[in-house]
Structure 1
Amino acid sequence: MDTALILKIEHRKGLISDYESAKHFLEQSDLLRQLLAENFQFESYQLMNRLNEIAEIPFTQYIPKVQEWLAILNSLTACDEGFSLTKKKDYILSCYNGMLTSLFIRMEYSNHKEIHQGINWITKYQRFERNTPTEWNGSGILRYGGCLKAIPCYIGIVKSIIALSEYKKSIYYQSNQIVESKFNQGIDYILNQNVYLRKSTSEPITNYITSLSYPFTWKTNVIEILRMLKSNGFVNDSRCNFAMEYLKSKQKDNGIWYANAGYKPKGWILFDKPKESSLWISQEIQEILEISNNNCPLE
């Protein structure tokens, strides 16, 4: 088991709570060594993906190189009203604005202004209900799949709600009724979809939403959505039952889950190899299902 995963497990148990205690695990991690290698293009999409992967390992926000990369990403994506992969506000998309806002929050980025702009874009323009207009008229929204049409893009909803969830738990947050109202609307929308199912046919919303993969790309999946719901106390809602049962059904006889082969962006570093015992995915699902390590061994 890689020492980065040992660190994550120990951190979740409350046994490691500061960077000094974590440094040994970080320094010994083969996975983190791969993630910190400069073997990808320093453009916004690949840098966002690499940092999103790094953010899954506790205390990596204190690594100097990671802070340098965050500053580069901020310079490539922050614009007047939120975050855009092109740095042009006209091309702000719900999914990427949500992902970038979440990333900077999780990594405790020092420039609060851009984070608040990303959140403000969500509360002002993102739709969490059907058949309601939006004031946003950026051309990117219209060009790439119609994120804010009568039925808003589900990926955009999920990534935006994850951003609001991270914001509410962060050092940046001050009590805000608009944020709370939007967050509750989004949670209700997700729960009313039974987390991952179409209302019209009860089929999965996308062909990849049931994929067991980790960390998470823009192609959200049931693990990412349930993790967010669990962290906010909603996972016991009956509307999560189908998704919870789906995860249970994928557990192997040895108590472990296996990663699915699937979408892999350029520069992506695998945490788990497909069709093999997937320790990182298993740890995430154990946390969601509240299965103890003794009953589901990670060896």
Structure 2
Amino acid sequence: MIFDTSLELRIKYDKKESLSKSEITSLLKNSKLVQNLTKDINQNPLFLIWKLIALSEIPYSIQLPYTKKIVDLIIKNLGTSEGFSLTGNKENLLPCYNAILIKAFCKLGLQSNKIVKNAVNWIINYQAFHRNFNSDWKEAEILKHGGCLKSTPCYIGLAKSVIALHEYNKFESNKNLQLKLEEGTEYILQHHLFKRQSNGNPITKHILDLYFPENYNITILELLWFISETDKIKDTRVKDSIEYINEKRNKNKMWAVDYVYKSNGYISFDGKAKEGQWISYLINTIQTYYYA
């Protein structure tokens, strides 16, 4: 099977293969996906976010002048003393967008950036990781968006914040971060990754859809990839998610794209493919860890 060279690069990176600078440059340069991702630019906040999320999933993309430009614009336009905000004002910070930018910066090797540290500290100080948590964050803006910090916290914001801490923890850690990470991971496992505790139904509308890269929604693929990188992959509460994924595999051991998110700057890595190369690679990797 012929892969886009960006996926070839990702596979080699995940396998920890040694690559020369010229090999990396060639794989990035010849990628049709990279060419598509970098063909235009504007300063719309969501455009910048989705471009950076996508590029962060392609190893070594921080070497591209385009990626560096996106990073600079996000720092300038979305960075605050508390973390990342769509408006550039700390009062407008939302947990989900704050978290996905932490993750992207970490995957690009920019975990030491001051705004990333601010954003991580915001999660540790204010994010809810269990029900009936009384957050000290009292800015009114956050109350307008689906109950981010209400008695039953928004699952999207919580899950993405846990994943953000997980990415940051690969580089820097402390006791408070570890406690929050453990607490949040347990909350996700209590929900068998995707189920409401009250009735077992999917927590959110798109949580069982398969596509890549991530967007505002939280998906079973995101959650399984995160869990696969922890010592919880064989937890019995992961079984339901693995079984669901297995049921969606076709005769060629590939997976179809269920949903294409539409937003300014967002590009699906697999399009609407019936056999998505990116999602199939990721799922096969997850299964390797689960069945090891």
**TM-score over 0.5 for the alignment?**
yes
Give 1:55 shift.
Answer: 1.0
Q: How does 1:1-299 map to 2 (within 5 A)?
A: 1-17=3-19, 19-38=21-40, 40-109=41-110, 112-170=113-171, 173=172, 175-290=173-288
Unaligned runs of 5+ in 2: none
Normalised by the length of structure 2, the TM-score is 0.94
Per-residue CA distance 1:103-124 (angstroms, 9 max, x = gap)? 1222123762111100000000
Output the TM-score relative to the length of structure 1: 0.92
Partner AA of 1:160 in structure 2: S
Provide Cα deviations, 1:58-101, integer angstroms capped at 9, x if missing partner. Answer: 11012222112101111111112111011111111110111111
| 1:149-206 Cα deviation digits (max 9, x unpaired) | 0000000011101110010112xx1x41000000000000000000000000101001
Residues 261 and 268 of structure 2 are in contact (CA less than 8 Å); yes or no, is this contact kept in structure 1? no
Structure 2: how far apart are the matches of 1:19 and 1:228? 29
The Cα shift of 1:141 comes to 1.0
The Cα RMSD (Å) is 1.5
More deviation, 64-73/264-273? 264-273
Structure 2 CA distance for partners of 1:139 and 1:86, relative to 1, 3 Å: same
For 1:211-233, what per-residue CA distance to the aligned partner results, in whole angstroms no more than 9, with x for missing partners? 00110001110000110111122
**1:239-295 per-position Cα deviation (integer Å, ceiling 9, x unaligned):** 10101111111100111100013432122222113252110110010111118xxxx
Retained in 1: the 8 A contact 2:260–2:271?
no
Separation in 1, partners of 2:130, 2:54: 30
Structure 1 unaligned runs (5+)?
292-299
**Aligned residue identity for 1:15:** E
Shift of 1:18: 5.7
Q: Is the 1:70–1:109 contact (alpha carbons within 8 Å) kept by the matching residues of 2?
A: no
C-alpha distance in structure 2 between counterparts of 1:242 and 1:15, whole Å:
33
CA distance in structure 1 between the partners assigned to 2:83 and 2:21 by the alignment? 30
Instruction: Tell me which amino acid in the other structure corresponds to 1:264.
Output: K
1:294 corresponding residue in structure 2: none
